């Protein structure tokens, strides 16, 4: 198995799910910031013939419908060691909670790295599966999201409707 992808329609618009071998390597919106070129996704395949992508689509749809709280998929994000350290922290932010770029920077060892943390969060190729929508600005404001702020707000509302706009951080 090599790189391949499916495109699925969701409440958030069309989403491309890419797999590399036995792991999910990317989740991208149509107008995703830092979306790789189409040829990087490999050939389009069918969920009917690809059990991994079929399961990823099923879990994503269940999550967006409120029937799933977390994902159980093999993930393989391409990134450097700093990005992986940041993404590991982002993965640990529980549904219904948020964190800030500054707090993640503290966790990787230096609050002064908040800008680099923001860049790493923005480079996350597995948004939703690695829930970077749960990272907000220091004041709790919704800042940057590769899929756009409307999608970020929608995901946060899906996870914890009362928390969005209420200034709840942690």
Residues designated catalytic: 132
Picking from 86, 68, 87, the residue whose alpha carbon sits closest to that of residue 76 is: 87
Distances (CA, A) of 127 to 68, 119, 134, 162: 16, 14, 10, 22
C-beta separation of 117 from 157 below 8 A: no
* Residues whose CB is less than 8 angstroms from the CB of residue 141 and which lie 6 or more positions away in sequence, other chains included: none
Q: Which helix (H) or strand (E) holds 104?
A: helix 101-107
Distance CA 62, CA 71 (A): 10
CA distance 114 to 55: 35
Rounded Cα–Cα distance for residues 126 and 114 (Å): 20
């Amino acid at each position: 198995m090599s790189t391949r992808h499916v495109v699925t329609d969701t409440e958030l618009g069309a989403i491309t799910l890419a797999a590399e071998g036995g792991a999910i390597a990317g989740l991208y919106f149509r107008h995703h910031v830092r979306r790789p070129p189409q040829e990087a996704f490999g050939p389009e395949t069918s969920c009917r013939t690809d059990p991994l992508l079929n399961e990823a689509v099923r879990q994503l749809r269940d999550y967006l419908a409120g029937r799933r709280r977390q994902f159980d998929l093999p993930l393989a994000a391409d990134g450097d060691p700093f990005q992986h350290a940041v993404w590991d922290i982002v993965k640990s932010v529980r549904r219904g909670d948020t964190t800030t770029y500054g707090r993640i920077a503290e966790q990787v060892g230096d609050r002064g790295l908040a800008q680099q943390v923001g860049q790493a969060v923005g480079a996350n190729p597995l948004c939703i599966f690695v829930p970077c929508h749960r990272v907000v600005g220091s004041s709790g404001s919704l800042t940057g999201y590769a899929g756009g702020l409307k999608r970020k707000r929608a995901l946060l509302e899906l996870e914890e409707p009362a928390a969005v706009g209420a200034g709840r951080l942690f």
